[in-house]
Amino acid sequence: MGGVCSNENGGPASDPKEVARNKRVEEEMRAEYKRQEAVHKMLLLGAGESGKSTLFKQMILLYAKDPFPLDEKMNYAPVIFSNVIDSIKILIEQKDNFADEIPFSREEKRYVETILDLDSADDIDPPIANQILQLWRHPGIQKTYENKSKYYITDSAGYYLDRILDIGKGEDYIPTEEHILRSRTRTTGVIERSFDIKGNTFTMFDVGGQRSERKKWIHCFEGVTCVMFVAAISSYDTVLFEDNKKNRLVEALELFEEICNSRWFERTTIVLFLNKKDIFMEKVTKVPLTVCPALKDYVGPKEYLPAVDFIIEEFYAKNQQNKSITIHVTTATDKNNINVVFESVRKSVVEASLANAGLVLHMG
């Protein structure tokens, strides 16, 4: 009986084909590891209604090759119809609390009945659009809208209702990019999208901001290059969708404190977006910052710069680990603003990645 061929270490001789195959697999694994290492993983976090999903859509508009093809635009039509219907219904229902002394006419009461019978999933055709417009222009509805901080309604409500005749075209309605940016659906789960920007690959994750969604965040934390935390500074006088006793800016401050001091992000770049600057600039001249429990010590004027500086200091104070945190005051619906801001973020993220790899000296 013939003996088994052995190598000099006493083991069976390796099959050259097997050796070559193993080498190829190892090279592919190393290449995949390098590819993964070159991807900058960016996590979008923030409380509900902060505008982070708007920021996510803005990134798609800025950097995707075909951001919103026609079929995807059409998918937003029912979302926008729903936003409009929900908004006008809320205003009708809240009118008794803020403008009961300004009655509807007999004709307007018929419109009210028609609108309240609508389902959020219904299309808005021209006749319905005209009825919505008449109700939106009603002095009682306008007075109710002026008191919008006292109940929940989306920030895009006034924008859409002002443009209801452009939207109310039924099946012929094609949402514009601006309409898509301002559309509101509560993010559930995790939405992922990759972008190639100036030779760098960024994978961005948008996760739900409502409290019920936050338990899913932990699955996204590993290997994060940058956390982009979004807080709506304009929300200082409003309450949460899921808890009408909790101030939205207080919730954002508490959540930011939790995130920026988390062990998961000890070596992670943190960028804070204080969003909805446009709404804040208008509101701060009318509504005192002190209505927010977290800002009760503010003694400055009702002016944008001192007010926003005070809020920035409140967020900085939540940083217990003395981390380097970059803050940008933004309007997520403003394409030019986000383009400039993200270019700054991109440079910071790439520099931090090189520093962590020991390739450059990073000046924190």
Per the annotation, the verdict on 254 as an active-site residue is no
Per the annotation, the verdict on 49 as an active-site residue is yes
Dig out the tokens for 275 from the structure: 């969003």
Q: What angle do CA 172, 176, 182 make, to 5 degrees?
A: 120
Per the annotation, the verdict on 184 as an active-site residue is yes
Taking CA atoms, 24 is separated from 15, 17, 35, 37, 38, in Å, by 14, 11, 16, 20, 21
Active-site residue (options: 49, 155, 237, 251): 49
Active-site residue (options: 155, 182, 206, 268): 206
In the chain the first and final C-alpha atoms are separated, in Å, by 72
Per the annotation, the verdict on 134 as an active-site residue is no
Active-site residue (options: 201, 210, 211, 351): 210
Dig out the tokens for 2 from the structure: 């013939």
Dig out the tokens for 322 from the structure: 């003395």
Dig out the tokens for 5 from the structure: 């061929």
Whether the CB-CB separation of 331 and 337 falls below 8 Å is answered with yes
Whether the CB-CB separation of 135 and 116 falls below 8 Å is answered with no
Per the annotation, the verdict on 210 as an active-site residue is yes
Q: Tell me 194's DSSP state.
A: E
Q: How far apart are CA 282 and CA 278, in angstroms?
A: 7
Q: How far apart are CA 159 and CA 356, in angstroms?
A: 44
Q: Nearest-CA neighbor of 339 among 61, 33, 39, 43?
A: 61
Tally helices (H) and strands (E) across the chain: 13, 6
Active-site residue (options: 94, 144, 154, 184): 184
Kind plus residue range of the DSSP H or E element containing 173: none
- In which order are the strands placed within the sheet that holds 190-197? 190-197, 200-207, 39-45, 226-232, 269-275, 325-329
Q: Tell me 6's DSSP state.
A: B
As annotated, the active-site residues are 49, 54, 184, 206, 210
